[in-house]
Every structure is written in C-alpha cells, then in structure tokens.
Amino acid sequence: MPSTSNASNWQQREEEAVKKLIESLPQWTGPLDDDAPLPRGTKTRTGVLPESGLTYYWRKNDEPRDRVELVIAVRAGSIDETDDERGLAHVLEHLAFRARTDADGTRWSALRELEAHGVSFGAHQNAYTSFEETVFFLHVPADFFGRALELLAALVGEAAKVDASDVDAERKIVLEEWRQGKDWAQRSTESHFRHTFEGTTLAARLPIGNLEVVRTARPETIRGFYERHYTADALAVIVVGAVPDAVQVDQLDRAFAPY
C-alpha cells in the first residue's frame, strides 16, 4: 500500500496542477446577470444565412488534418413535447436517418451515400436527443465537405417525410433502446432526474419518453412536432475543421434553402 507521505505528495501535486490550470484560463470580465451572452472565441464566425434563415457558426481548425465536423443543432428536445408527444423528439431523431436524396429516391439513401465515402454510422454520423436540443453531426473528409453538407441538410429537412411503415420500423428500434438501457446505471440516472426535478416539467420529460406514446405514435403527430420546432430560427449549422477562414455563406445557404 502507498505510504501516507506519498499520498500526501500526490495530492499536493494534483492541487498545484489544478491551480495552474485555473490560472491559465481566461478571466470572465463581463456582466454576471443571467441574460449576459457567453464569450465567444475571436476565430469563430457567426451570423444568419440570408436565404434559409439558419444561424451559422464557422471556424477553421487544422486538427485533425483534412477533416471537418458538421453539426445541425435544433433548439427542441423532450422538454418541448406535449403529453401526447412524450418520446417523439427522440423518435424523430431516428427517423431523420431514413432520409432520401435527390439522386436516389429510396429510403436510407443519404446514409448510404455517407457510408460510401467512409462516413460510417455511429462513429462518423450520429445524433442525440436531450431535454433541450436535438443534435445531428457528421465527421467527414475535407474533400467531401460540400456534398456532406447537402446530405446533412437532407437528414434534417426530410426527417418528417415519413409514412406509417417508417414509424413502425423505427419505433421497434427505440423500444429496444429502452429495453437495453434498463440496467442499474440507467435506472439510477432516471431516478436521480425525477428526484432532482420533482415538481417541474423536466421530471416527466426524460428523452426516452412514454412507452405507450412511442408504441402508438402516428406519422401526423410526429410531423406536427417537426413543423412546430424544426424552424429556421431554431436551427444552427456548425462547421469546424479544414475549411477556409472566410465563411462560405452561399454554399451553406444552397444546402439548406430547399428545406
């Protein structure tokens, strides 16, 4: 067993390292009120696309080399669901990957084209739903950036263009996710959230939702949620990686304007 003196030395070194880290961080000099905007790095370009109306965040970054991270963040999550929609923000996230493309009118064509360029599902293309947001992201080769941007737009833009067979197929996957997630860690997490947020809407809005709602969801209900929340003022496109310093506004607009 380590001696008491060794443990004490290790703790001291850790405390010194944490102190140096904190001292190296930039100091907040802005106002402290709740509505104060968070500071943004000077290398990040942001604005609103003139045609499609989406907010964009653009930043050139050299590492990892020749790669670009593309993200669509939707300001809508489980907290935005009605009682009859509990779980449908998450179902909608799943349905997005069944999107068609103009070149291929079949289901999953956007996903297949991404995978054909090495953008594998799970590792390089994925999504998540939380209480307050739904986020779709791609990690792509820099020379595939333009087309990947169009495919990401298709995932989000085509998300609610589904029929009953699409919903039936995807609900089975969501229900299986729920079943597999019922281990002790997940049960503990859910209990923690319900206890912490007791008396608030959050306590009844875990992203996995209500099983009966998921089992009986209809396409028109999902489309209703989509049409209310997947609006231009609630969407942001984020581009980070091996891209030019100057924002390619026209390229971003062309990708998202059709939707």
Give the active site residues: 93, 170
Q: What is the per-residue burial (b if ≥16 Cβ within 10 Å, else e) of 12-48? A: eeeeeeeeeeeeeeeeeeeeeeeeeeeeeeeeebeee
Distance, C-alpha 65 to centroid of its chain: 23
> Under a CB-based contact definition with an 8 Å cutoff, are residues 204 and 86 in contact?
yes
Question: Which residue type occupies 230?
Answer: Y
How would you class 78 by CB atoms within 10 Å of its CB: exposed for 0-12, middle for 13-18, buried for 19 or more?
buried
> Under a CB-based contact definition with an 8 Å cutoff, are residues 206 and 107 in contact?
no
- What is the rounded distance in angstroms from the CA atom of residue 119 to the CA atom of residue 111? 9
- What is the rounded distance in angstroms from the CA atom of residue 15 to the CA atom of residue 22? 11
- What is the rounded distance in angstroms from the CA atom of residue 30 to the CA atom of residue 251? 35
